[in-house]
Amino acid sequence: MLGRVNHIAIAVPDLAAAVASYRNVLGARVTEPQALPEHGVTVVFVDLPNTKVELLEPLGETSPIAAFLQKSPGGGMHHVCYEVDDILAARDRLAASGARVLGDGNPKIGAHGKPVLFLHPRDFFGTLIELEEV
What is the Cα–Cα distance from 96 to 31, expressed in whole angstroms?
37
Phi-psi region of 105 (alpha: psi -120 to 50; beta: other; left: phi over 0): left
Q: Which strand (E) or helix (H) includes residue 49?
A: none
What is the Cα–Cα distance from 73 to 60, expressed in whole angstroms?
16
Half-sphere exposure of 130 (CA within 13 A, CB side): 24
Annotated catalytic, 132? no
Instruction: Pick the catalytic residue from 57, 130, 132, 133.
Output: 130
- Cα–Cα nearest to 133, from 83, 99, 88, 93: 83
Whether 118 contacts 128, CB under 8 Å: yes
Active site residues: 130
